[in-house]
Structure 1
Amino acid sequence: MNSEIETQIRECETRLYAAMLASDVAELDALIADDLLFAGPTGELATKAMDLELHRTGGTQFEEFTPKDLEIRVWSDRFALASAQIFSSGTYLGNAFAGDYRYMRVWRKGENGWQIAGGSVSAMG
Protein backbone atom coordinates (compact mmCIF):
# COMPACT_ATOMS: atom_id res chain seq x y z
CA MET A 1 0.00 0.00 0.00
CA ASN A 2 2.84 2.41 0.79
CA SER A 3 4.17 2.31 -2.76
CA GLU A 4 0.67 3.00 -4.13
CA ILE A 5 0.28 6.00 -1.81
CA GLU A 6 3.77 7.24 -2.69
CA THR A 7 2.81 7.11 -6.38
CA GLN A 8 -0.37 9.10 -5.65
CA ILE A 9 1.62 11.75 -3.74
CA ARG A 10 4.18 12.01 -6.56
CA GLU A 11 1.30 12.61 -8.99
CA CYS A 12 -0.15 15.28 -6.67
CA GLU A 13 3.25 16.98 -6.40
CA THR A 14 3.55 17.04 -10.21
CA ARG A 15 0.07 18.59 -10.47
CA LEU A 16 1.03 21.11 -7.80
CA TYR A 17 4.24 22.20 -9.60
CA ALA A 18 2.32 22.82 -12.83
CA ALA A 19 -0.38 24.75 -10.96
CA MET A 20 2.16 26.90 -9.11
CA LEU A 21 4.05 27.71 -12.31
CA ALA A 22 0.83 28.64 -14.15
CA SER A 23 -0.87 30.28 -11.12
CA ASP A 24 -3.78 27.91 -11.81
CA VAL A 25 -6.01 28.98 -8.92
CA ALA A 26 -8.68 26.32 -9.59
CA GLU A 27 -6.11 23.50 -9.46
CA LEU A 28 -4.41 25.01 -6.39
CA ASP A 29 -7.82 25.25 -4.72
CA ALA A 30 -8.34 21.52 -5.33
CA LEU A 31 -4.88 20.56 -4.01
CA ILE A 32 -4.80 22.74 -0.89
CA ALA A 33 -6.86 21.94 2.22
CA ASP A 34 -9.12 24.68 3.57
CA ASP A 35 -7.34 24.55 6.96
CA LEU A 36 -3.81 24.87 5.50
CA LEU A 37 -1.03 26.42 7.58
CA PHE A 38 2.14 27.07 5.59
CA ALA A 39 5.34 28.76 6.76
CA GLY A 40 6.96 30.90 4.07
CA PRO A 41 10.68 31.52 3.56
CA THR A 42 10.74 34.38 6.07
CA GLY A 43 8.79 32.40 8.65
CA GLU A 44 5.42 34.09 8.11
CA LEU A 45 2.35 31.86 8.23
CA ALA A 46 0.04 31.71 5.24
CA THR A 47 -3.45 30.30 4.85
CA LYS A 48 -5.09 28.81 1.77
CA ALA A 49 -7.00 32.03 1.14
CA MET A 50 -3.78 34.08 1.30
CA ASP A 51 -1.94 31.73 -1.08
CA LEU A 52 -4.77 31.65 -3.62
CA GLU A 53 -5.10 35.45 -3.49
CA LEU A 54 -1.37 35.91 -4.20
CA HIS A 55 -1.68 33.69 -7.28
CA ARG A 56 -4.95 35.32 -8.36
CA THR A 57 -3.53 38.87 -8.16
CA GLY A 58 0.01 38.15 -9.42
CA GLY A 59 1.61 38.70 -6.01
CA THR A 60 3.34 35.36 -6.51
CA GLN A 61 4.66 34.65 -10.00
CA PHE A 62 6.96 31.77 -10.87
CA GLU A 63 9.08 31.99 -14.02
CA GLU A 64 10.90 28.71 -13.45
CA PHE A 65 10.02 25.77 -11.22
CA THR A 66 12.39 22.82 -11.62
CA PRO A 67 12.14 19.86 -9.21
CA LYS A 68 15.51 18.35 -8.33
CA ASP A 69 14.64 15.85 -5.62
CA LEU A 70 11.52 14.45 -3.96
CA GLU A 71 11.45 12.26 -0.85
CA ILE A 72 8.15 10.89 0.44
CA ARG A 73 7.38 9.26 3.77
CA VAL A 74 4.02 7.51 4.00
CA TRP A 75 2.78 7.71 7.60
CA SER A 76 -0.61 6.04 7.13
CA ASP A 77 -3.33 5.59 4.53
CA ARG A 78 -4.37 9.21 5.20
CA PHE A 79 -1.09 11.08 5.83
CA ALA A 80 2.21 11.47 3.98
CA LEU A 81 5.16 13.85 4.15
CA ALA A 82 6.80 15.16 0.98
CA SER A 83 10.18 16.89 0.96
CA ALA A 84 11.09 18.49 -2.35
CA GLN A 85 14.19 20.38 -3.46
CA ILE A 86 13.18 22.78 -6.21
CA PHE A 87 14.99 25.48 -8.16
CA SER A 88 12.60 28.34 -8.66
CA SER A 89 12.70 31.90 -9.85
CA GLY A 90 10.10 34.62 -10.13
CA THR A 91 8.69 37.46 -8.08
CA TYR A 92 7.00 37.63 -4.70
CA LEU A 93 5.23 40.90 -3.87
CA GLY A 94 7.36 42.63 -6.50
CA ASN A 95 10.70 41.25 -5.26
CA ALA A 96 12.67 38.98 -7.57
CA PHE A 97 13.95 35.66 -6.25
CA ALA A 98 15.92 32.74 -7.65
CA GLY A 99 17.54 29.74 -6.02
CA ASP A 100 17.11 26.30 -4.56
CA TYR A 101 14.32 25.89 -2.01
CA ARG A 102 13.28 23.03 0.27
CA TYR A 103 9.54 22.48 0.45
CA MET A 104 8.10 20.30 3.19
CA ARG A 105 4.44 19.37 2.74
CA VAL A 106 2.01 17.29 4.79
CA TRP A 107 -0.50 15.63 2.48
CA ARG A 108 -3.79 14.49 4.04
CA LYS A 109 -6.39 12.29 2.37
CA GLY A 110 -9.98 13.29 3.05
CA GLU A 111 -13.30 13.54 1.27
CA ASN A 112 -11.68 15.76 -1.42
CA GLY A 113 -8.80 13.34 -2.02
CA TRP A 114 -5.17 14.20 -1.26
CA GLN A 115 -4.64 17.82 -0.18
CA ILE A 116 -1.84 19.80 1.46
CA ALA A 117 -2.71 20.43 5.10
CA GLY A 118 0.57 22.03 6.15
CA GLY A 119 4.11 22.77 5.18
CA SER A 120 6.97 25.16 4.84
CA VAL A 121 9.53 26.45 2.38
CA SER A 122 13.06 27.61 3.08
CA ALA A 123 15.99 28.75 1.00
CA MET A 124 18.90 26.32 0.67
CA GLY A 125 22.48 27.39 0.94
Structure 2
Amino acid sequence: MNLEIETQIRECEARLYTAMAASDVSELDVLIADDLLFVGPTGELATKAMDLELHRTGGTQFHEFVPKELEIRVCSENVVLVAAKIFLSVTYLGNAFSGDYRYMRVWHKGENGWQIVGGSASATV
Protein backbone atom coordinates (compact mmCIF):
# COMPACT_ATOMS: atom_id res chain seq x y z
CA MET A 1 0.00 0.00 0.00
CA ASN A 2 2.74 2.49 0.93
CA LEU A 3 4.56 1.88 -2.35
CA GLU A 4 1.33 2.52 -4.31
CA ILE A 5 0.71 5.76 -2.40
CA GLU A 6 4.33 6.84 -2.83
CA THR A 7 4.03 6.26 -6.60
CA GLN A 8 0.85 8.36 -6.70
CA ILE A 9 2.58 11.20 -4.82
CA ARG A 10 5.63 11.09 -7.12
CA GLU A 11 3.21 11.50 -10.04
CA CYS A 12 1.46 14.40 -8.28
CA GLU A 13 4.81 16.07 -7.55
CA ALA A 14 5.83 15.74 -11.21
CA ARG A 15 2.51 17.28 -12.29
CA LEU A 16 3.03 20.07 -9.74
CA TYR A 17 6.54 20.87 -10.99
CA THR A 18 5.32 21.06 -14.59
CA ALA A 19 2.36 23.25 -13.60
CA MET A 20 4.51 25.60 -11.48
CA ALA A 21 7.14 26.01 -14.20
CA ALA A 22 4.46 26.77 -16.82
CA SER A 23 2.16 28.79 -14.51
CA ASP A 24 -0.60 26.35 -15.49
CA VAL A 25 -3.35 27.79 -13.29
CA SER A 26 -5.88 25.10 -14.26
CA GLU A 27 -3.58 22.27 -13.17
CA LEU A 28 -2.50 24.13 -10.02
CA ASP A 29 -6.18 24.61 -9.17
CA VAL A 30 -6.63 20.81 -9.26
CA LEU A 31 -3.50 20.02 -7.22
CA ILE A 32 -3.92 22.65 -4.49
CA ALA A 33 -6.67 22.38 -1.87
CA ASP A 34 -9.00 25.35 -1.44
CA ASP A 35 -7.97 25.68 2.23
CA LEU A 36 -4.20 25.63 1.59
CA LEU A 37 -1.90 27.28 4.12
CA PHE A 38 1.63 27.87 2.81
CA VAL A 39 4.55 29.71 4.39
CA GLY A 40 6.87 31.28 1.83
CA PRO A 41 10.64 31.81 2.05
CA THR A 42 10.27 35.22 3.72
CA GLY A 43 7.74 33.97 6.27
CA GLU A 44 4.63 35.30 4.51
CA LEU A 45 1.48 33.21 4.70
CA ALA A 46 -0.09 32.39 1.33
CA THR A 47 -3.43 30.89 0.34
CA LYS A 48 -4.46 29.05 -2.81
CA ALA A 49 -6.19 32.15 -4.16
CA MET A 50 -3.03 34.22 -3.66
CA ASP A 51 -0.81 31.61 -5.33
CA LEU A 52 -3.09 31.18 -8.33
CA GLU A 53 -3.40 34.96 -8.76
CA LEU A 54 0.41 35.34 -8.81
CA HIS A 55 0.66 32.70 -11.53
CA ARG A 56 -2.28 34.18 -13.45
CA THR A 57 -0.86 37.73 -13.47
CA GLY A 58 2.82 36.85 -13.94
CA GLY A 59 3.75 37.88 -10.40
CA THR A 60 5.54 34.55 -10.13
CA GLN A 61 7.63 33.46 -13.11
CA PHE A 62 9.91 30.42 -13.02
CA HIS A 63 12.89 30.61 -15.39
CA GLU A 64 14.63 27.46 -14.22
CA PHE A 65 13.18 24.61 -12.15
CA VAL A 66 15.49 21.67 -11.37
CA PRO A 67 14.32 19.04 -8.85
CA LYS A 68 17.27 17.61 -6.90
CA GLU A 69 15.83 15.53 -4.04
CA LEU A 70 12.46 14.10 -3.06
CA GLU A 71 11.72 12.43 0.28
CA ILE A 72 8.26 10.97 0.88
CA ARG A 73 6.76 9.86 4.20
CA VAL A 74 3.40 8.10 4.06
CA CYS A 75 1.61 8.94 7.33
CA SER A 76 -1.67 7.24 6.47
CA GLU A 77 -3.66 6.26 3.40
CA ASN A 78 -4.86 9.89 3.24
CA VAL A 79 -1.87 11.96 4.44
CA VAL A 80 1.65 12.17 3.01
CA LEU A 81 4.56 14.47 3.87
CA VAL A 82 7.00 15.47 1.15
CA ALA A 83 10.38 17.20 1.41
CA ALA A 84 11.78 18.38 -1.92
CA LYS A 85 14.98 20.22 -2.75
CA ILE A 86 14.71 22.24 -5.96
CA PHE A 87 17.02 24.67 -7.72
CA LEU A 88 14.96 27.68 -8.76
CA SER A 89 15.55 30.73 -10.86
CA VAL A 90 12.41 32.78 -10.36
CA THR A 91 11.06 36.30 -10.56
CA TYR A 92 8.65 37.06 -7.74
CA LEU A 93 6.85 40.42 -7.79
CA GLY A 94 9.61 41.89 -9.95
CA ASN A 95 12.51 40.59 -7.84
CA ALA A 96 14.82 37.89 -9.24
CA PHE A 97 15.97 35.02 -7.04
CA SER A 98 17.94 31.88 -7.72
CA GLY A 99 19.31 29.05 -5.63
CA ASP A 100 18.32 25.86 -3.88
CA TYR A 101 15.03 25.83 -1.98
CA ARG A 102 13.61 23.22 0.36
CA TYR A 103 9.88 22.64 0.13
CA MET A 104 7.79 20.80 2.71
CA ARG A 105 4.34 19.80 1.52
CA VAL A 106 1.41 18.03 3.11
CA TRP A 107 -0.67 16.06 0.61
CA HIS A 108 -4.17 14.97 1.62
CA LYS A 109 -6.39 12.56 -0.25
CA GLY A 110 -10.01 13.68 -0.12
CA GLU A 111 -13.00 13.72 -2.42
CA ASN A 112 -10.96 15.60 -5.06
CA GLY A 113 -8.03 13.16 -4.95
CA TRP A 114 -4.56 14.09 -3.74
CA GLN A 115 -4.18 17.82 -3.02
CA ILE A 116 -1.69 19.99 -1.16
CA VAL A 117 -3.20 21.30 2.07
CA GLY A 118 -0.10 22.81 3.65
CA GLY A 119 3.53 23.54 3.10
CA SER A 120 6.50 25.84 3.31
CA ALA A 121 9.55 26.87 1.32
CA SER A 122 12.91 28.07 2.53
CA ALA A 123 16.23 28.87 0.93
CA THR A 124 18.98 26.37 1.69
CA VAL A 125 22.56 27.25 2.51
TM-score strictly above 0.5:
yes
Provide, for residues 31-51 of structure 1, a one-character-per-residue CA deviation record: whole Å limited to 9, x for no partner. 000000000000000000000
1:21-100 aligned at under 5 Å gives the runs: 21-100=21-100
Q: Secondary structure at the match of 1:84?
A: strand
Provide, for residues 62-119 of structure 1, a one-character-per-residue CA deviation record: whole Å limited to 9, x for no partner. 0111000000000000000000000010200000000000000000000110000000
- For structure 1, the residue ranges without an aligned partner over 5 or more in a row are none
**Runs ≥4 residues deviating over 2 A:** none
Amino acid at match of 1:11: E
TM-score, normalisation: structure 2: 0.99
Cα displacement (A) at 1:120: 0.1
Root-mean-square deviation (Å): 0.3
- For structure 2, the residue ranges without an aligned partner over 5 or more in a row are none
Corresponding residue of 2:15: 15
Amino acid at match of 2:68: K
Q: Distance in 1 between matches of 2:108 and 2:18?
A: 20
